[in-house]
Chain A
């Protein structure tokens, strides 16, 4: 049975109709047509579906949509400022050409934004720990670490 649910996504309030058990991921992708969070495993094992939930990098593939009604959700697209300019982490990933297939980019960027907010100048070991939940199969790990460093430098010169 569908419920009416209020969601705060990317600074806007949305009213959606959904089965309350629907994973947040499906609501974001299919109803709000946000492409950032991706379906990867549905098991919270790969990080493809991360969003910022009250600022924390959180997988959305299992969390029921009703559980986040009072939280602030930011997706990859929501990191872009109103004037169209990119978040420094997005810019760093673009600048460093940090992708092969790019399917994992959402998780990498969201995890990095959360990390740099907590720890603006992370050590490499901290970067690796923060990105540990996010899988990449193409092997772009070295580039991702470089992009995180670039982002940290531009945010805290």
Chain B
């Protein structure tokens, strides 16, 4: 069955207010109120989240839900993001899970804090708790007597466990949740205040760079530290550990010069060749694979079977700010500042690399440039850690260059998706068969040093882990449509380039294939694209986003050589619903593609910060437009050759479409998370629009003028 409904529609509000079911996952692991919430000396509320701020606005969202339950303004809530030994361990900040896990845990913890504070006040003031009011950090009795949270706690914190029976504030009384809340860090940023990890400075801090090998598999032969010291001043130490080569200097420019010098003057032996002379899709299909039957049903090919092959190349996270980390080894303790998405799993992976027990490693998350998944953050932290061990007593700052970030980050896997379908006499899909090929979609640290790139090169080396998490490859491979017979086979290969999680994992390629194919099938069935999708939909919320999108775009008048394309997906088939339309012009002479406008409709269930969700959705559409129209990692026999913004271009202002996003708010439904909903349908909507505008269907990404001309 192609349909996996997560929740019914119209769940009654009362049911949600006292759920009596399960606690949010993170809270179940850390059930005490004070794991999440403390009252500070000055009376403000401090919230601890195990998630990190990636620009998704999680700090503001958790402040909003805490403030709401405690009836206080979100500006009186301060949020402490992930730090080992301080905040709960919430794994990675990924998979659109920050709201679902962290914000919901904070909501329950704050709700129980309210109950406990009221109980304490009732006892102190000798009145019934039901007669007390809680607001703005104080509890007030009917006679006007007031106690602040601080007075109520008397130097203590709330250590009680949060029960599943905790009563949440009724949603109709909400003041802050569901309304746009400005993010305080934006005020810091516009003023040029220190905010990012790159802005951290410590007294006596020194600078470091790593000299990367010329290819993934390479062994360091020789380098000349003496000549380096003659050529570059301020060199404090050259750190060689196996084939790991780093240099520490007094100032940053010296580090950059030393890196450049060593890059030119170091000998390596290279022991691999990348398959640069073969068509990538064919090559990847030819690799040995672990195969998995994801869905099994009957499928019979005949002369009317519609078939297509879609391809997504390797793409990059391509953060604007290259990875950075600071480490200090002092007094047998290793401190690391990192923009990793998961500081606890990073810590678990480090002991074997740095030779310290886990309790001697402390990691503090500091926001970095947007990462969109597992980029170089953990590797930079490992670089810094290795060099800090070799050079103790000083804060060591490692800054990756643009070339390192492009050349060494773990990429989003290339994928091939082949689809076949048979229609019945009414033009409905009768049978559908998908076969897909993908590398892993997660080689995150997860306690395994083999997932930390610098650990591949140290003397006691930890080789690159084979076959990481593969489930991401068939994320959204199952069409969210009613299809009587559905079969899916997934084949997992180990490709030539280093890969890991990139925003939406396999969903982008799978939905690109499914939603392109839906248009191809609609055409075969003689139906309009949206009509055809609605024929195969019976989830009212899926129907609602598509119907809304239809309303928004129905009156668009198409100019010459213009076309509009549509696509829909429900992320992970259990999370947010999103439908996207794209308006494209393809100049018939030059085949120049102009993406004019994109429309998006999103239903992410309960919305905490509508402006945050809108921002994420607009951004997701634009980012996916860049993936779809521009991006492809290229490599030669030795290594990646897409090493900067010229050789790996992303969308700039002149090519960015106008975007319009509408949210369908469902305050009584569970929050579904919105960070990755828009990318997948955006790619397919653009492909469908290009087909409408030009008559040519491009099934191998990226969609370029060259392919349209060919």
Asked if B322 is at the interface (CB within 8 A of a chain A CB), the reply is: yes
Contact B622 A41 (CB under 8 A): no
Q: Mask for B658-684, Cβ within 8 A of A = 1, else 0? A: 110000000000000000000000000
Q: Any chain B CB within 8 A of the CB of A52?
A: no
Q: Which of A23, A35, A43, A86 contacts B402 (CB 8 A)?
A: A43
Known contacts A97-B186, A102-B186, A132-B653: A143-B618 contact under CB 8 Å: yes
The residues in A between 83 and 129 inclusive whose CB is less than 8 angstroms from any CB of B are 86, 90-91, 93-94, 97-106, 109, 127-129
- Complex-state Cα separation, A128 to B659, whole angstroms: 14
A142 touches B321 (CB 8 A): no
A97 engages B253 (CB within 8 Å): no
Which of the candidate stretches B10-18, B642-650, B697-705 sits at the interface with the other chain?
A: B642-650
Is A103's CB under 8 angstroms from B369's CB? yes
Determine if A68 is an interface residue (Cβ-Cβ < 8 Å).
Answer: no
Task: Write out the residue numbers on chain A whose beta carbons fall within 8 Å of the beta carbon of B402.
Answer: 40-43, 45
| Chain A residue at minimum C-beta to C-beta distance from B54 | A101
- Chain A residues 131 to 152 lying within 8 A of chain B, measured CB to CB, are 131-145
B20 to A: closest C-beta gap in Å: 37
Q: How far is the CB of A141 from chain B (nearest CB, A)?
A: 4
CB 8 Å contact bits of B617-657 with A (1 = contact, 0 = none) = 01111110010000000000000000011100011111010
A140 touches B619 (CB 8 A): yes
Task: Flag if B622 contacts A43 (CB, 8 Å).
Answer: no
B320 near A: Cβ within 8 Å?
Answer: yes
Q: A42-B401, A97-B183, A103-B321 are in contact. Are A36 and B192 (CB under 8 A)?
A: yes
A residues 31-77 in Cβ contact with B at 8 Å: 33-36, 38-43, 45-46, 48, 75-77
Smallest beta-carbon distance B422→chain A, Å: 38
- Is the CB–CB distance between B644 and A41 below 8 Å? yes
The count of chain B contact residues (Cβ–Cβ below 8 Å) is 61
Chain A residues contacting B621 (CB-CB under 8 Å) are: 139
Residues of B within 8 A of A143 (CB): 615, 618
Are B321's CB and A100's CB within 8 A? no
Distance in angstroms between the alpha carbons of A102 and B187 in the assembled complex: 10
| Chain B residues whose C-beta falls within 8 Å of the C-beta of A19 in the assembled complex | 233, 253-254
**Does B56 interact with chain A (Cβ within 8 Å)?**
yes
Given known contacts A30-B251, A140-B615, A142-B658, A38 and B321 CB-to-CB distance under 8 angstroms: yes
The 8 A CB mask of B310-324 against A (1 = contact, 0 = none) is 000000001111100
Check A139 against B620 for contact (C-beta < 8 Å): yes
Report the Cα distance A1→B253, complex, angstroms.
Answer: 12
Tell me, rounded to whole Å, the shortest Cβ–Cβ distance linking A147 to chain B. 10
Contact of A80 among B191, B370, B372, B615 (CB under 8 A): B191
* Nearest Cβ on chain B to A52's Cβ, whole angstroms: 13
A38 contacts across to B, CB distance below 8 A: 196, 198, 321
Within 8 Å by CB of A26, from B55, B252, B616, lies B252
Asked if B283 is at the interface (CB within 8 A of a chain A CB), the reply is no
What are the residues of chain B within 8 A of A97 when measuring CB–CB?
180, 182-183, 186, 611, 615
Q: Give the distance to chain B from A7, nearest Cβ to Cβ, in Å.
A: 15
CB-based contact B652/A135 at 8 Å: yes
Assembled-state Cα–Cα distance A39/B233 (Å): 22
Q: Is the CB of A93 within 8 A of B54?
A: no
Residues of the A chain whose Cβ atoms lie less than 8 Å from the Cβ of B658: 142
CB atoms of A100 and B191 under 8 A apart? no
Out of A46, A90, A135, name the residue touching B190 (CB < 8 Å).
A90
Query: Separation in Å of the A15 CB from the closest CB of chain B?
Result: 17
Residue pair A102, B195 in contact (C-beta under 8 Å) = yes
A99 to B183, CA, bound (A): 9
Query: What residues of chain A lie closer than 8 Å to B182, measured between beta carbons?
Result: 94, 97
Pairwise interchain contact A34-B192, C-beta atoms closer than 8 A: yes
Cα–Cα distance between A127 and B656 once the two chains are bound (Å): 12
Does residue B199 face the partner (Cβ distance < 8 Å to A)? yes
B399 in the interface (beta carbon within 8 A)? yes
Assess A138 versus B191: contact at CB under 8 Å? Given A39-B321, A129-B654: no
Contact residue among A34, A135, A142 (Cβ-Cβ distance under 8 Å from B320): A135
**A76-B620 contact in complex given A26-B253, A101-B369, A103-B196, C-beta closer than 8 Å:** no
CB of A77 within 8 A of CB of B623, answer no
Q: Is the CB of A75 within 8 A of B192?
A: yes
Point out the residues of chain B lying under 8 angstroms from A35, CB to CB: 192-196, 199
- The reply on B201 being an interface residue by CB < 8 A is yes
Q: For B320, what are the chain A residues with a Cβ–Cβ distance below 8 Å?
A: 40, 46, 48, 101, 103-104, 135-137
- Which of A76, A105, A132, A137 has a CB less than 8 Å from the CB of B372? A137
Q: Please tell me if the beta carbons of A135 and B618 are within 8 angstroms of each other in the complex.
A: no
With the chains together, A142 CA to B600 CA distance in Å?
A: 13
A136-B320 Cα distance, complex, nearest whole Å? 7
Question: Measured between alpha carbons, how far is A18 from B257 in the docked complex, in Å?
Answer: 14
* B186: chain A residues within 8 A (beta carbon): 93-94, 97-99, 102, 105
CB-CB < 8 A to B194: which residues of A? Answer: 35
Contacts of B273 in A (CB 8 A): none
Chain A proximity of B180: nearest CB distance (Å): 8
Contacts of A101 in B (CB 8 A): 54-55, 320-321, 367-370
**A8 is an interface residue with CB less than 8 A from chain B:** no
Complex partner residue of B318 from A30, A137, A142, CB under 8 angstroms: A137
Kindly supply a per-residue 1/0 record for chain B positions 600-623, scoring 1 wherever the CB is within 8 Å of any chain A CB and 0 otherwise: 000000000001000110111111
Contact partners of A102 in chain B: CB under 8 A:
55, 185-186, 189, 195-196
B196 A76 Cβ-Cβ under 8 A: no
User: Which B residues are in CB contact (< 8 Å) with A135?
Assistant: 320, 645, 650, 652
List chain B residues, Cβ under 8 A from A22. Answer: 251, 253
Q: Which residues of B lie under 8 Å from residue A137 when comparing CB positions?
A: 318-320, 369-370, 372, 623, 650
- Nearest first, the 4 A-B pairs at minimum CB distance are A101-B55, A139-B622, A101-B370, A139-B619
Q: Please give the residue numbers on chain A whose beta carbons come within 8 Å of chain B beta carbons, in ascending order.
A: 1, 18-19, 21-23, 26, 29-30, 33-36, 38-43, 45-46, 48, 75-77, 80, 86, 90-91, 93-94, 97-106, 109, 127-129, 131-145
Q: 13 other contacts beyond A26-B251, A109-B190, with CB at 8 A cut-off?
A: A30-B201, A94-B182, A94-B186, A98-B186, A100-B57, A101-B367, A103-B319, A103-B320, A138-B55, A138-B623, A139-B619, A139-B621, A140-B618
Q: Mark B residues whose CB is within 8 Å of A.
A: 54-57, 180, 182-183, 185-187, 189-196, 198-199, 201, 233, 251-254, 256, 318-322, 367-370, 372, 399, 401-402, 611, 615-616, 618-623, 626, 644-646, 650-654, 656, 658-659
